Amino acid sequence: MSLQFSADANAFPLHIVEIKDLTGFLETLPVAQKNWAVASGFSATLGSALVLHHADGTLAGGVIGYGDAKSRKRGRFHVAAAVEKLPQGSWQIVSDHSQEMLEETALGWLLASYRFDRYKTQSSLKARLVAPDGVDAAKIEAIATGEALTRDLINTPSSDMGPAELEAVARDLAEQHDAAIEVISGQDLLTENLPMLHDVGRASSRVPRLLDMTWGAEGPTLVLVGKGVCFDTGGLNLKPGGSMGLMKKDMGGSAAVLGLAHMIMALDLKLRLRVLIPAVENSVSSNSYRPQDVLTSRKGLTVEINNTDAEGRLVLADALTLADERKPDLIISMATLTGAARVAVGPDLVPFYTDDSAAATSLFQSGEKIADPLWRMPFHAPYETMIEPAIADLDNAPKGGFAGSITAALFLRRFVSEDQPYVHFDMYGWQPTSEPGRPKGGVGQGTRAILDALPDLLDL
């Protein structure tokens, strides 16, 4: 879905007021409106809203409470909490605020208008926002639409979002932006030396495939690699029912990179983009790969399988090797890879790994600036021995349970050259409870921070 601002020149004025400024603001209102605000008990608490009327009862405007600095630290997209309380029409922010606040408010408003209505009619947001002065409306709309694409993909159940359907979405996106796309599927994965991708997906009747989209003719090269496990049963190490309930979101990494790719292409950034998505379903059949099997990767490294439910790193390994072969300026992988990451930082923070401290600083600062929070985790070299079994080069699921997100990241790093700039995101991709601008369900994480940091990461 496309999320856009209103173009109504006759929008209602909207004031966003902090608690500390409320008394002064009330003095600027006509007496009747001031009295109404006092009688209504409006106190400018975070997310509160008040509708103002003219003397004849017609709509005059509105006020949204912006709380105080302490309350705002406990969340983001605060104005989005109040927009559902505004009546139908277009609204124009008329109070003075920082550029950063206006950009977050504008994006939060658009994200609050997102609805996943593929299977059930949803009431649309009645209040629409006119882009605030000084805000790059086209950029905010591109970001919001990319985020909506990510959410739609994650929210769609696997019955309608298997490898073939994910391919169709990628093809539509490529056509929209005049990008090229190639797909390797089925037995051709073996011919083209993508053996672990084939091994993981071969048990499913839904044919595994690698999606390879390219765009742009000038500038540095960025490769985005997204985990596209469209459903994960766990394979022969079958997940319990409770753990399988959200596995439609195990393609969240692919959804994130496609949403980010839309942002990059819609904004016509001066770079060369490649998107690699290993799209599979991890199923159970007589043809499933097994515990204690030893698989050979595209890179030639052998991998002992100690848990078939650690399949994401296997399909990513072949895709990362493919990405690495052309020596791009930067490789970024995004994946719903480990439950250990959620234990470490919860569902809201996205842990990321890189050996480049300057890149880590840029990403963290961008996340802070645009309300897309990240946290750096270490490629801790002393743990390398934990992923080195006795009979193969690597172990896909070290025993013991310690440092699960770190060992998974170390596994992936083995498939990227030591001198290759690389960042890995171990995302969750799911909003467990509704928050302003983020309804319960699929959500993009880390993509906006990456977009904001790209000028530093690639010297654009």
Catalytically annotated residues: 239, 313
**Distance (Å, rounded) from C-alpha 251 to C-alpha 334?**
10
Are the CB atoms for 93 and 105 separated by under 8 Å?
yes
**Distance (Å, rounded) from C-alpha 100 to C-alpha 377?**
27
Helix axes 137-155, 163-176, angle to 10 degrees: 160
Are the CB atoms for 443 and 430 separated by under 8 Å?
yes
Strands 374-377 and 350-354: parallel
Q: 164: which 2 tokens?
A: 């073939």
DSSP class of residue 93 equals: E
Element housing 255 (H / E): helix 252-266
> By three-state DSSP, how is residue 146 classified?
helix
Are the CB atoms for 230 and 162 separated by under 8 Å?
yes
Return phi, psi of residue 76, to 5°. -155, 170
Among candidates 226, 236, 207, which has minimal Cα distance to 274? 226
The residue type found at 177 is H
**Distance (Å, rounded) from C-alpha 48 to C-alpha 193?**
58
Place of tokens 């765009």: 215
Phi-psi region at 415: left, alpha or beta (left = phi > 0; alpha = psi -120 to 50): alpha
Are the CB atoms for 432 and 450 separated by under 8 Å?
no
Furthest C-alpha separation in the chain: 83
Among candidates 15, 18, 20, 9, which has minimal Cα distance to 33? 15
Q: 449: which 2 tokens?
A: 């921070």
